[in-house]
């Protein structure tokens, strides 16, 4: 039997199908070309689905634009205010322990505190405030009036403050003082780039916590004159001395470093005298950790910083003088 072969398609039908396919491809191409380019805006209705991601979506991506790579010694210099404040708290607590044990005269502490405050004010007036662009002329009469008012107020309140915690157990007094000093350390303002004319809230909380702890400790002293000198020393140490340290920090790095070393050595000697060598060594280890280990740790952690910026971020207003 002869094999049945399929008849070839007519030439007209083949030509017609080729024309239709060409027309369809051209139509699809025209539809694609009619779409407008995709733009990264949400307020405009576009010819693309909501989950469409264009190849140019991440073209404006920027990483770690505002990161400032700091060196080791700059971080060590920034850690000096922390070491200074911790040392000052340790020195103050050691002075109280010495007075409480009758190893140190409270009148001598008050005399040295007053002389040091006057010397620091003279140094600030003639040397320190000029490099800090502090052009305001101090009101000497107002300063003298404020000092007299503080002295008279403390002299009048000393007998009352002495009996403040007579009915409280010593353990409760020590615990309250420790918590208040911890609040002082936690809320203290350690930034010293500029000398701010206004007082921040957390800085006032720090000063109030330290003065409250001083009042609580002073109430355990036996004589009202000792209470007066001790609280006066606390006012100088926690209200005025931090301001003086900030001016020293702005004035000279070497002067700031020298003052830091003096405070650390004084705190070590004081702890060694009123406590033990072990506690003094623990304090030195803490200062070493803050001043040297923490900067190294911070530099190591900077490589994990991944800050992303792009044109989709919130626009920042550029404030300036109005034109016209």
Task: Kindly report the three-state secondary structure assignment for every residue of 190-256.
Answer: CCCCCCCCCCCHHHHHHHHHHHHHHHHHHCCCCCHHHHHHHHHHHHHHHHHHHHHHHHHHHHCHHHH
Element (H, E) at 288: helix 277-288
> Over 70: is that where the pLDDT of 45 sits?
yes
* pLDDT, the chain, mean: 80
- Fill in the DSSP letter of residue 302: G
Beta strands, E only, 44-153: 62-63
Per-range mean pLDDT, top range of 39-43, 90-94, 161-165, 318-322:
90-94
pLDDT for residue 38? 73
pLDDT for residue 216? 93
- Going by pLDDT thresholds of 50, 70 and 90, the confidence category of residue 227 is very high
Give 131 or 125, the one with higher predicted confidence.
Answer: 125
Spatial separation of the C-alpha atoms in residues 138 and 148, rounded to whole Å: 17
- Going by pLDDT thresholds of 50, 70 and 90, the confidence category of residue 139 is confident
pLDDT for residue 183? 94
pLDDT for residue 202? 60
pLDDT digits (tens, 9 = 90+) for 241-278: 998 898 888 888 888 999 999 999 999 999 999 988 99
Percent of all residues in the chain with a pLDDT value above 70, rounded to a whole number:
74
pLDDT for residue 68? 72
> Over 60: is that where the pLDDT of 196 sits?
no
pLDDT for residue 146? 83
Q: Is the dihedral of CA 93, 98, 99, 105 positive or negative?
A: negative
Question: Average pLDDT for residues 177-202, to the nearest whole number?
Answer: 76
pLDDT for residue 55? 72
pLDDT for residue 203? 75
Mean pLDDT check: name the lowest of 65-74, 190-199, 214-223.
190-199
């Amino acid at each position: 039997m002869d094999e049945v072969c399929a008849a070839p398609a007519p030439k007209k039908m083949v030509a017609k199908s080729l024309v239709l396919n060409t027309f369809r491809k051209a139509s699809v191409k025209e539809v694609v070309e009619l779409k407008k380019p995709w733009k990264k805006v949400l307020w405009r209705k576009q010819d693309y689905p909501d989950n469409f991601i264009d190849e140019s979506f991440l073209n404006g991506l920027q990483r770690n634009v505002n990161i400032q790579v700091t060196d080791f010694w700059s971080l060590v210099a920034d850690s000096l205010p922390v070491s200074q404040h911790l040392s000052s708290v340790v020195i103050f607590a050691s002075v109280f322990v010495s007075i409480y044990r009758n190893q140190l005269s409270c009148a001598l502490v008050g005399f040295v505190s007053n002389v040091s405050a006057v010397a620091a004010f003279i140094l600030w007036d003639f040397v320190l405030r000029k490099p800090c662009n502090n052009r305001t002329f101090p009101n000497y009469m107002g300063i003298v009036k404020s000092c007299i008012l503080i002295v008279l107020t403390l002299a009048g309140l000393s007998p009352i403050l002495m009996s403040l915690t007579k009915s409280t157990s010593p353990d409760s007094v020590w615990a309250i003082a420790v918590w208040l000093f911890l609040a002082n350390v936690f809320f203290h303002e350690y930034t010293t780039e500029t000398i701010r004319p206004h007082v921040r809230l957390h800085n006032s909380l720090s000063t109030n916590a330290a003065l409250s702890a001083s009042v609580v400790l002073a109430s355990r002293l036996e004589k009202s004159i000792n209470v007066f000198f001790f609280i006066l020393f606390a006012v100088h140490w926690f209200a005025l001395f931090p301001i003086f340290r900030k001016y020293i920090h702005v004035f000279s790095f070497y002067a700031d470093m020298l003052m830091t070393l003096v405070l650390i050595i004084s705190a070590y000697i004081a702890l060694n005298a009123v406590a033990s060598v072990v506690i003094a060594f623990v304090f030195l280890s803490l200062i070493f950790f803050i001043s040297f280990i923490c900067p190294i740790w911070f530099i190591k952690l900077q490589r994990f910083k991944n800050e992303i910026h792009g044109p989709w971020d919130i626009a920042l207003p550029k404030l300036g003088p109005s034109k016209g």
